[in-house]
Structure 1
Amino acid sequence: MQAAQSPQQARRGVPVADVRGGDRDDQEQAAAKAGELKEQAALKAGELKAKAADLAHQAQEKLPDPVKDKAAQAAGQARATAAQAGQTWQEKAPEPIREKTAQGAQLARDNRKMLLAAAGVVVVVWLACRRKG
């Protein structure tokens, strides 16, 4: 005798037993699949990063000199503005908040791999949820 199905499962033709199967094998398969997806995502990210760098280099070669000069000037202004904002932050932010912000930034710098791994897991979970929906 088959267990009751939700309307969604009935539409998909998936029995409840298949969806609720909490076996250790299923958990191991899910963990293995998550590992594979993580590796694939890292590989694809590396490929995309290399391709983006190549495209940026090609685009930069094609730019005329006046445009490059204007971009360099804009970048200098952006750096100056950021430095000014940082100085304003140092002058006006309360000391405890500055300390906590500095600690958080240092923690992120020290644990970059862990931060990237967590971001990768979030992306995989988001993709899995998106695929189900």
Structure 2
Amino acid sequence: MKEEPRADIGTPVPNANSPEELREQAERTRDELGKTVEALGAKADVKAQAKEKTAAARKQASEKASLVADQIRERAEQATDLMKEKTPDPVLERTAQAAAQVRETASKAGQYAADKAPDPLLEKAGRATSVARANRKPLLAGGVLLAVVLLVRRARGRR
């Protein structure tokens, strides 16, 4: 069985006619060997592979968390709208009155705390307040949802 010389993989050709052909063949072999060494080096670099996998997992988790957060916000808004539709007007009025009282009391307590609290604490409280104001709808929806859950649990407990 006679084997055909394969110049494409860098093996020497027994019937090379000139030194120039041998040089070209040697150059191709060097290039292929360099690529092979690079590929083996990349496979052996466990630290780089771990970093790539970690980055991919982090990105996937972030995307999933964002999707879940969007779904929660949407459902909370739906629950809030449903509660507003199903709640009788007198209850809504009493709730508004209670909210006004809570705001007034909170304002008085806030003023008292501002008078007595140290400056670093006031700065942290200011940051927390701005975050709460920026996320008002989700916080309100969460509060309503919590109230509904508590009312349902309370009603089931009486049975």
Normalised to the residue count of structure 2, the TM-score between the two structures is 0.47
Partner of residue 53, structure 1: 77
Distance 1:78 1:25, change over 3 A: same
Find the aligned partners of 2:122 and 2:85 in 1 and give their Cα distance.
Answer: 43
Q: Does 1:105 align with 2:127?
A: yes
Find the aligned partners of 2:113 and 2:62 in 1 and give their Cα distance.
Answer: 38
Find the aligned partners of 1:56 and 1:99 in 2 and give their Cα distance.
Answer: 32
**Alignment-mate amino acid for residue 39 of structure 1:** E
Partner of residue 3, structure 1: none
Kindly provide the CA deviation profile for residues 3-52 of structure 1, in whole angstroms up to 9, marking residues without a partner as x. xxxxxxxxxxxxxxxxxx95311221111111111011011101110111
Partner of residue 58, structure 2: 34
Report the number of matched residues. Answer: 87
Q: Does 1:91 align with 2:82?
A: no
Distance 1:40 1:98, change over 3 A: closer
Query: After TM superposition, which residue ranges in structure 1, 4 or more long, deviate above 2 angstroms?
Result: 96-102
Kindly provide the CA deviation profile for residues 61-90 of structure 1, in whole angstroms up to 9, marking residues without a partner as x. 010111101111111111111101111012
Normalised to the residue count of structure 1, the TM-score between the two structures is 0.56
Distance 1:58 1:31, change over 3 A: same
Distance 1:25 1:97, change over 3 A: closer
Structure 1 vs Structure 2 CA RMSD = 2.6
Segments of structure 2 that go 5 or more residues without pairing to the other structure are 1-44, 135-159
Find the aligned partners of 2:106 and 2:94 in 1 and give their Cα distance.
Answer: 18
Partner of residue 68, structure 1: 92
**Alignment-mate amino acid for residue 99 of structure 2:** A
Find the aligned partners of 1:30 and 1:82 in 2 and give their Cα distance.
Answer: 45
**Greater relative contact order, per chain length (Cα 8 Å cut-off, separation 6+):** 1
- Overall identity of the aligned pairs, in %: 34
Find the aligned partners of 1:24 and 1:76 in 2 and give their Cα distance.
Answer: 58
Segments of structure 1 that go 5 or more residues without pairing to the other structure are 1-20, 113-133
Q: Which has the larger radius of gyration?
A: 2
Find the aligned partners of 2:100 and 2:66 in 1 and give their Cα distance.
Answer: 33
